[in-house]
Amino acid sequence: MMNAGRLLPVLLCCLFLLWSVQGCGKKGDPRPSNVMPPGAIADLRATLIESGVYLRWSIPDAKSGIQNFKIQRNEQDKERSSCVDCPREFVMIADVSVNDPLLKKEEGNGVGYLDLQVKAGYYYAYQIIACDMRRHCSEGSNIEEIKISAKVPQGREGVKNTPQ
C-alpha cells in the first residue's frame, strides 16, 4: 500500500500527462486537404406553379461525380416577423440522388425538383448543396426567394406530397 506522501506526486504526474496529451482544441476541416468538393450551384431558380414551387438548377460539372443533392428551405410566416437581418435557418426537405424519380432531368445538365409542401401567404427561400459519392459536399448554392400568394394554388387536392 502507498502512503499519502507518495500518492500526491503520482497523482500530479498522472494529471500532468493527461493534460499534456490533449489537443490544442483547434478544430479544422475534417476533409483531407487534397480532396476538392463539388462546385457550388450558382443558378438556382424558383418558380411558382399550379401545385407548388418548382426549383431548377444546373449540375456544375459532369466530371465532378455528383451523386445527390440536399434541398434546403427556409420558411417565414405571413408577416415576415422573423428577424430580417438574422441569418436564415435552412431545413433539409429532401436528399435526392441524381437517379431519383423526384429529380426531373431537363435539357443539357439541368435538373428540377417540385416542392409541394408550401403554404399560401408564406415566404420561402431555397438553397441546394451538391454531394459526391464520398459524401463531400459543396457550399450552399445561391439563395432563391419566393412568396406564395394568399390564394392556395389550384389543383392541390389529391396530389401526394414529397417525402421529408
Tens-place pLDDT, residues 7-40 = 777 777 777 766 666 655 555 555 556 678 888 9
In the chain, how many domains are there?
A: 1
Give percent of the chain above pLDDT 90. Answer: 44
**Would you say residue 113 lies in a domain?**
yes
Domain housing 135: 45-147
**CATH number for 85:** 2.60.40.10
Model confidence over 35-86: pLDDT tens digits?
Answer: 788 889 999 999 999 889 999 999 877 666 899 999 999 998 866 555 667 7
DSSP-assigned states of every residue in the chain:
---HHHHHHHHHHHHHHHHHHS-------SS-TTPPPPPPP---EEEEETTEEEEEEE-S-GGG-EEEEEEEEEEE-TT--S-SSSPP--EEEEEEETT-TTSEE-STTEEEEEE----TT-EEEEEEEEEETT--BPPP---EEEE--SSPPTT-TTPPPPP-
